[in-house]
Amino acid sequence: MSHIIDIKIRGYHLDLFRHVNNARYLEFLEEARWSLLESRGSLAFFENSHYTLAVVNINIDYRRAAYMGEVLCITTTMKTIGNRSCVMRQLITLKGTDTVVADADVAFVIVDTRTEKAAVLDGELRVTMERLLTETA
């Protein structure tokens, strides 16, 4: 099951050319990832532990401009879980259509705040991440 949120394009999302600026999409994608963590109960795990998430790479393809008043549907799934990093797949479409606005693979690590290094994904940490994978597959 994928996690889906909608974002309505407002005037403050637009740039000088009256479409959504490319950098705004990164904010939309981040909002969707936070929403995923909240909806699966994983955010509480991170808030109560010594771990934090850090994006290390984003590969994004822009397919179509988005304009004021349109509603974007952002679908987020956990793509892979490695030993120290994970990748989420995110797809932005126009709500109610198959029109792809953008798609991205977002790689991140879980940082142990005690060491400031990427944590090995094992034990409870791995179980938490695998739950995201199985619940969004």
The residues assigned a catalytic role are 15
CA dihedral 136, 96, 18, 104 (to 10 degrees): 20
* Contact between residue 117 and residue 68 where contact means Cβ atoms under 8 Å apart: no
- Could you tell me the sign of the dihedral formed by the alpha carbons of 86, 92, 97, 98, in that order? negative
What's the Cα-to-Cα distance from 37 to each of 28, 97, 117, rounded to whole Å? 15, 26, 21
DSSP string, 8-52: E--GGGB-TTSSB-HHHHHHHHHHHHHHHHHHTTHHHHHHTSSEE
**What is the C-alpha separation between 39 and 107, in angstroms, rounded?**
20
